[in-house]
């Protein structure tokens, strides 16, 4: 018994000693960058997917030239269909790349020529800038109506099966409250 427990403890110790720590998330892979000047601050904007497509999730990273220390800022997206500027949101650390600002798994709703507006504040004072003509291509895959229609087929089949089962059960229970015995 002692030898078995010792062998088990050695196996568990070996397992923990040789197992690398698990990464909860994949690292952010930047495949394309653009440069923006926001007042006195130069900034590199990174994209995890290129070319951009509507309704496709991707990571954005915003990297000021001298880092994010002692700086703050906001960004807003300009919709190409309406020309409306979206609500300004504060630049926050990327959840998986803490040394830069970023957005995790964000998608742009429509195709067209988007713009991203920045307002930064730091030791050199406030500054604003804009990344213009960010081309977003059409949505990949089938149109949304087709995708939703296909995905609803199992739900419709389930509803039909439940309705059929409910009607059969209700019809059997109507008699005198006793289920008929099969002979």
pLDDT in tens, 110-153: 899 999 999 999 999 999 999 999 999 998 888 878 888 899 99
Residue 13: inside a domain: no
Confidence at residue 2, expressed as pLDDT on a 0 to 100 scale: 84
Same domain for 158 and 116, yes or no, is no
Total tally of structural domains belonging to the chain:
2
Q: Which residue has the higher pLDDT, 124 or 9?
A: 124
71 plus 94 within the same structural domain: yes
* Residues 52 and 97 both lie in one domain: yes
CATH code where residue 71 lies:
2.60.40.10
For the cut 60, the answer to whether the pLDDT of residue 100 exceeds it is yes
pLDDT higher for 183 or 92?
Answer: 92
pLDDT confidence of residue 178: 56
* Judgement on whether residues 150 and 131 belong to the same structural domain of the protein: no
Is residue 72 included in any domain, yes or no?
A: yes
pTM over 0.85: no
Residues 168 and 98 in one domain: no
Range of the domain at 105: 32-137
Say yes or no: 65 and 128 in one domain.
yes
In this structure, the answer to whether residues 74 and 160 fall within a common structural domain is: no
- Are 73 and 111 contained in the same domain? yes
Domain for residue 19, yes or no?
no
Helix, strand, coil tally for the chain in percent (to 5): 25, 40, 35
| Domain contains 179 | no
pLDDT of residue 23: 54
* Integer Cα distance of 30 and 125 in angstroms: 29
Q: Is the pLDDT of residue 165 over 80?
A: yes
Residue 123 lies in a domain: yes
Whether 19 shows a pLDDT value over 90: the answer reads no
Same domain flag for 104 and 159: no
More confident position, 52 or 15: 52
Same domain, 87 and 36: yes
**Does one domain contain both 45 and 132?**
yes
Do 131 and 47 contact (CB within 8 A), yes or no? no
Residue 160 binned pLDDT confidence (cut-offs 50, 70, 90): very high
Q: Residue 183 falls within a domain, yes or no?
A: no
Mean pLDDT of 94-99: 88
Is 155 within a domain? yes
Which tens digit of pLDDT belongs to each residue from 21-74? 655 556 778 899 999 999 999 999 999 999 989 988 899 999 999 889 999 999
Q: Is residue 178 situated within a structural domain?
A: no
DSSP lists the bridge partners of residue 44 as 35, 63
**Do 146 and 131 fall into the same domain?**
no
- The pLDDT value given to residue 136: 92
b/e per residue 88-104 (b: at least 16 CB within 10 A): eeebeebebbeebbbbb
Cβ atoms < 10 Å from Cβ of 37? 14
What is d(CA 175, CA 130) in angstroms, rounded to the nearest whole number?
Answer: 74
pLDDT range class, residue 180, cuts 50, 70, 90: low
């Amino acid at each position: 018994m002692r030898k078995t427990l010792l062998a088990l403890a050695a196996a568990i110790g070996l397992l923990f000693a040789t197992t690398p720590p698990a990464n909860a998330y994949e690292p952010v892979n930047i495949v394309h960058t653009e440069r923006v000047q926001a007042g006195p601050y130069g900034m590199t904007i990174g994209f995890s997917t290129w070319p951009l497509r509507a309704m496709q999730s991707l990571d954005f990273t915003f990297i000021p030239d001298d880092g994010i220390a002692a700086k703050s800022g906001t960004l807003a997206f300009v919709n190409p269909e309406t020309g409306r500027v979206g609500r300004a949101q504060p630049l926050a650390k990327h959840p998986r790349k803490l040394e830069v600002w970023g957005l995790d798994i964000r998608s742009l709703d429509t195709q067209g020529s988007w713009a991203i507006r920045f307002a930064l504040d730091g030791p050199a004072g406030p500054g604003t800038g804009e990344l213009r003509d960010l081309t977003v291509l059409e949505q990949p895959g089938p149109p949304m109506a087709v995708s939703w229609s296909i995905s609803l087929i199992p739900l419709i089949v389930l509803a039909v099966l439940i309705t059929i089962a409910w009607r059969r059960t209700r019809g059997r229970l109507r008699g005198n409250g006793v289920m008929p015995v099969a002979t």
